[in-house]
Structure 1
Amino acid sequence: RQGGNNPEVNYRLRLAIQKARGNNMPTDNIEKAIKRGSGTLEGATLVEMVLEGYGPSGVAILIQALSDNRNRTLQDVRNIFSRSGGSLGESGCVAWLFDSKGLIAVETNDLDAEELALNAIDAGAEDVKVENNYVEIYTKPEELEMVRTALDQKTLPIASAELSMTPKTMVELEEKAALQTLKLLDKLEGLDDVQHVFSNIDFSDSTLEKYKAQV
């Protein structure tokens, strides 16, 4: 709820609205999300929750949730962990493995990825990575909106812009454990109260394709 329910002064809310509109969320749902996020939705007092745990093979998983019932959300998350070969941990058990960053994804399309990267650095980005058809741009959390605005003014095709928890180091798993972990992450993402799920796993393209074929 930082900044209240005015998108012009609450950059986290503004980014959420832009993402919702980009995903074609109906306007009434967007307005409801604004009210829920700012605590003005009648009958709903929402609290932000950060839950941490371990997946198969001990990989780190960090969950951000927004809930009107902490106990329900906690139990739902715990059940998924226990049924999926993982375990819910104590506060702080894996958070130290992640850095809070702003993350902007820009579609390369027919654009020069190197030029995009230079534009991002000029706009204040801390780091830039080229991934398939996207350029991933990392910023300080408080500078995310500034960098996004600078890139937007250059009419670059921004696919998403959001606050992210970026792993300090990535780990690789053998295929069976990786597929099991993907299933766990999917189940967590499916919970209504869960907003974001982060992990420190580096999934191979072949593992991702195999998982897609299974679901």
Structure 2
Amino acid sequence: MELLVVVPHPDDEVFGAGGALYEAALRGWSTGLITLTRGDQGRDLGLCAREELPRVREEELRRAAEILRVGHLEVYGYPDKGLGEHPEAAELLAERFGELRPERIVTFPPNGLNRHPDHVAAHRWTVEALERYGASVKLYYYALPRPYPGLREGWLPPTHFVPLERATLAVKMRAMAQHRTQALSVLKMLDSAAERLMEETFHLVGYQGAARTGLD
């Protein structure tokens, strides 16, 4: 598999790497997405009963992944806002890496971008899984051009930029729109990081060269 994205929640995939996933599929790359929770602690906006939210969010995710032409999707049921309490997720990921054999993995950076505990846990379990897996993989982190206010500690600058063409942007926005229960999160993202609609940015671990366009 050429590109695998590992995130904790439904909607994390499209905000950070929706365009990259879609354009990779257009290039003929095999793409995959592992989502570790079903987002049961997210908002429901009155669109469903609370007990139905995990099912609804997984359905939203599956529609978004189909729009982005994700070739392989796995959704797990680790607790939303409790992923950090489940180190066995690292063992699971190591097994999945061994099966999928990804060449590139995208996940959250050590500070989770915004220190969200599940974002931080997804980073930790992915890194531990790669250590167990042992094969050489290019590891990319979501990387904002500028840190969130007050969150500069642990910020890693982008090394790779993926500018999105107009057609790709339209697809990404359609995928974002599938996450109806999380509409307020979509609006918050547009308010705080609208530039990520047009250009997705990543930090390649260990990369020392000049900034590059596209994922190596």
* TM-score, structure 1 normalization: 0.25
**Structure with the greater relative contact order (CA < 8 A, sep ≥ 6): 1 or 2?**
2
Higher strand share: 1
* TM-score, structure 2 normalization: 0.25
Larger Rg: 1
